[in-house]
Amino acid sequence: MQRSTYISTAAAVVLMVGGPVAAAAAATSDAARTPSAAMAAARADIDATGAAEAAVKHYPGTVESLDEDGAVWHVDVIGKNGKHAELTVDTRSGKVFTEHADGDDDGDNAKENKQLIAAKVSAQKAIKAALAAHPGQVRSVSWDDDDNGGARSWEVEIQPKGGGDTKNVHVDATTGKVTVSSSDSDNDGNDENDENDD
């Protein structure tokens, strides 16, 4: 009888001590299954620069344009082989898919491609310059081949931090100078002058 009392008492002690220990072990096990802050940060959306870098790693060449479209970036690249490739980059994983690649290098396209490849300021540098002047999130980047007094430029669409209307920022493809499109003027119509004050 005395032996059974000892066993019952020992069992009670194990349950009293074991309960919190088991609960702590269960919590640790749950925490291991819950993504840590570091893992969550690692899964953050791929931004414009990340999409451009992933695209040229997959298909070596020069980025011509990129555009965010929901869960993917559409990226156009002029390959080192002269072919034009349309790629998609998953915004979560960074995985790249080739949608289309062709030898689109005849006539005017070949001339435009040479100007793009020869530009001192790449799409990636244009993104960096635009964000330095206008912090926010880049939504699209495109090569502007229109003759604006002979200057080539990149058009970068930025969603400003804190919200508000998107800004269409132009980055000179030779100098890297940043200006805001006149269509984005504020009430006073002096956005470009405001640029020089930043």
pLDDT on residue 44: 56
Q: Which residue has the tokens 């840590």?
A: 36
b or e along 133-150 (b: 16 or more beta carbons within 10 Å of the residue's beta carbon)? bbebebbbbbbebeeeee
Single out the residue of 76, 93, 92 nearest to residue 84, CA to CA.
76
pTM value?
Answer: 0.68
Mean pLDDT of 139-149: 80
E strands, the chain, where? 61-69, 72-79, 84-90, 96-102, 136-148, 151-160, 167-172, 178-180
Q: What's the alpha-carbon Rg for the chain, to the nearest Å?
A: 28
Residue pair 156/130 in contact (Cβ under 8 Å)? The answer is yes
DSSP per-residue letters across 106-117:
SHHHHHHHHHHH
Q: Distance between CA 174 and CA 12 in Å, rounded? A: 80
Single out the residue of 102, 98, 79 nearest to residue 89, CA to CA.
98
Cα dist from 71 to 35, 74, 78, 93, whole Å = 21, 10, 23, 10
> What's the pLDDT tens digit per position in 102-125?
865 555 677 788 889 999 999 999
> What's the pLDDT tens digit per position in 72-91?
999 999 998 788 999 999 99
Strand partners, 142: 65, 155
Burial of 51 (0-12, 13-18, 19+ CB in 10 A): buried
Considering the domain 119-198, what is its CATH architecture? Roll (3.10)
Considering the domain 45-118, what is its CATH architecture? Roll (3.10)
Given a cut of 50, whether residue 39 has pLDDT beyond it is no
